[in-house]
Amino acid sequence: YCVSAFRETFWQIPKLWYEFQKSALAAFEDYKTYTVGGCQIYMEDAKWFIIQLPSGRKLRYYKPRVMLGEYGPQLEYWSYRGFYKTLYGGMEVENVVQACSRDILCDGMVRSSHIADPVIHVHDEVAFESARDVKHDLEDVLNTSPTWLPDVPLKIEVFKSDVYSKSPVRLRGVRRRDT
């Protein structure tokens, strides 16, 4: 029930899965380029299936082939682990979302490096180091969309801390133990 309710409420997401799936199969068959969700989908040659992200970076899938899956034809690719893995619309969209998130993070790190030094990043977080208070400067830069994805809405939270933490809320009420 929950899956059906989600898909009915957010029908654009399954529609995007289907568009990626359809375009991937078509690109595999006719070697043409298809555009879906700001991405270019094509075969680079017989060995590489490509999804080019809005940033220009390419997701590469080696030795693709079409196999009959539970819901019809679907792509498979040769994984670095030495076996074929299924690649379907939902998985393609998941990979694109994760890759675009990484590209947005890296773009923000590069664009803000003149303000403060990025010292570590973990998944969707960056820790910067600076001798002065740069919170507002970082917010201005990091909340600006990349040139290659100008319409993406960004809302970056920046906070100042003397030590790395996931969020300033976690530090409330924590007392240092004197030893």
Question: What tens digit of pLDDT does each residue of 86-107 get?
Answer: 999 999 999 999 999 999 999 9
How buried is 41 (Cβ within 10 angstroms: 0-12 exposed, 13-18 middle, 19+ buried)? buried
67-92 pLDDT, tens per residue? 998 889 999 999 999 999 999 999 99
139-150 pLDDT, tens per residue? 999 999 999 999
| Mean residue pLDDT across the chain | 88
Q: HSE (CB half, 13 Å, CA atoms) of 102?
A: 13
104-130 pLDDT, tens per residue? 999 999 999 999 988 888 878 888 888
pLDDT, position 133: 87
- Encoded tokens for 32: 């043409």
pLDDT, position 19: 97
Phi, then psi, of 148 in degrees rounded to 5: -85, -5
In the predicted structure, residue 170 carries a pLDDT above the cut 90: no
Tell me the C-alpha distance between 108 and 102, whole Å. 10
CA angle 137, 124, 84 (to 5 degrees): 150
pLDDT level of residue 167 (50, 70, 90 thresholds): low
Tell me the C-alpha distance between 56 and 39, whole Å. 9
- Range 35-59 average pLDDT: 96
In the predicted structure, residue 173 carries a pLDDT above the cut 60: no
Entry pTM: 0.84
Tell me the C-alpha distance between 16 and 38, whole Å. 11
